């Protein structure tokens, strides 16, 4: 590793953050080209189907330069899909070194490092790896853990209650908080709720016009739902017959395996409390988003009613605190 590798990779990470959500299902990637210890070109992934970061950076550089170093946050792809393989543009007549934050976990696209080495280019990997992974948590979770990236979303009173005793929860949070939640839905492939949420609230589970609508996933172990509910207007995926009614916590893994097979990369779990509790007890989630409203309910349904005890470490790191009117949204990341 050269002394300025971290410095230039940090610039590449900043480039990656410029990519819009529309790059999905591709990851957000940044690239920086350096010559004689000076940055001469940068690029980041364009919308899905558009140019990749390496292509953008190479097209923006002077074509006469030799002996350059390319810094890229993800291994250059070898796969030809909607665009040509990036690796074909990284040639030894232009590049002496390529510095990579992370290898590509996608089996279809990986293999770029081997080709670079074969072509006589010096390759360094693992520079700023952890920070690069954070930018594409959903992408890496899907390919490395063979399941969707899971966000647990909860709307709660200050004393940890998500609904009154009879199930009424309209409305715990303010309109701004609900709009924030609708936007979050649009950034996920699928949204999941349990049967009781459908019965009590009869929600649409759409993005309310704030983006694409997620695929609706419903847990209904005993197949009790009335198919006249709003969610059945959009052909939801309903889990019932394949579930284990005696050990509900095992259902989480069954469901996630099926969603992985369906190429669902991100899952937004909105509840209810029992469904959220199953995911927490199964230790299968990546992000926890709690919207706290300045309200109190004396008797009601708790946001969690599982098996965890005080001694159990949830391994959560505070990531962000946001304010919506008088509500507070707290976001925790798991495992960082």
Active site residues: 54
For 37: left if phi > 0, alpha if psi spans -120 to 50, otherwise beta; the answer is left
Can you tell me the distance from the alpha carbon of 143 to that of 267, in angstroms, rounded to the nearest whole number?
A: 14
The residue with tokens 């949070």 is 173
- Burial label for 109, CB within 10 Å (0-12, 13-18, 19+), is buried
Which strands form 38-44's sheet, in the order they lie side by side? 38-44, 30-35, 68-74, 95-102, 122-125
Question: What one-character-per-residue DSSP string does 163-209 give?
Answer: EETTS--TTSS-HHHHHHHHHHHHTSSEEEEEHHHHHHH----S-TT
CA distance 328 to 112: 44
> What gap in Å lies between CA 67 and CA 91, rounded to an integer?
10
Partners of 302 in beta bridges: 161
Residue 125 forms beta bridges with which residues?
A: 100
| Beta bridge mates, 292 | 156, 328
12 CB-near residues (< 8 Å, 6+ apart): 30, 31, 32, 42, 71, 72, 73, 101
Q: How far apart are CA 22 and CA 285, in angstroms?
A: 24
Report how far residue 18's alpha carbon sits from residue 20's, in angstroms, rounded to the nearest whole number: 6
- CA dihedral (228, 229, 234, 236) in degrees, to 10, reads -100
């Amino acid at each position: 590793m050269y002394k300025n590798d971290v410095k230039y990779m940090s610039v590449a990470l900043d480039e990656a953050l410029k990519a819009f959500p529309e790059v999905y299902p591709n990851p957000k990637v940044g690239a920086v080209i350096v010559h004689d210890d000076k940055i001469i070109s940068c690029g980041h992934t364009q919308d899905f189907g558009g140019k990749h970061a390496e292509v953008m950076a190479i097209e923006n550089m002077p074509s006469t330069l030799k002996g350059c170093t390319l810094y890229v946050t993800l291994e250059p792809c070898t796969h030809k899909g909607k665009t040509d393989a990036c690796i074909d543009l990284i040639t030894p007549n232009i590049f002496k070194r390529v510095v990579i934050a992370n290898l590509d976990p996608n089996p279809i696209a990986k293999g770029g490092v081997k080709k670079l080495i074969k072509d006589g280019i010096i390759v360094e990997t693992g520079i700023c790896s952890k920070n690069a992974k954070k930018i594409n948590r959903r992408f890496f979770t899907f390919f490395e853990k063979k399941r969707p990236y899971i966000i647990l979303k909860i709307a709660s009173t200050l004393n940890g209650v998500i609904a009154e005793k009879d199930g009424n929860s309209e409305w715990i949070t303010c309109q701004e908080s609900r709009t924030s939640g609708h936007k979050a839905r649009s950034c996920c492939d699928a949204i999941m709720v349990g049967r009781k949420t459908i019965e009590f609230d009869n929600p649409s589970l759409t993005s309310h016009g704030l983006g694409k609508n997620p695929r609706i996933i419903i847990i209904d172990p005993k197949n009790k739902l009335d198919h006249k509910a709003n969610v059945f207007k959009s052909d939801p995926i309903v889990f019932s017959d394949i579930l284990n009614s005696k050990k509900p916590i095992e259902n989480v893994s069954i469901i996630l395996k099926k969603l992985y097979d369906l190429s669902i990369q991100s899952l937004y779990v909105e509840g209810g409390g029992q469904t959220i509790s199953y995911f927490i007890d199964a230790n299968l989630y990546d992000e926890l988003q709690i919207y706290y409203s300045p309200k109190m309910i004396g008797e009601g349904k708790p946001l969690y009613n599982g098996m965890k005890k005080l001694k159990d470490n949830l391994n959560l790191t505070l990531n962000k605190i946001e304010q919506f009117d008088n509500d507070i949204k707290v976001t925790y990341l798991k495992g960082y």
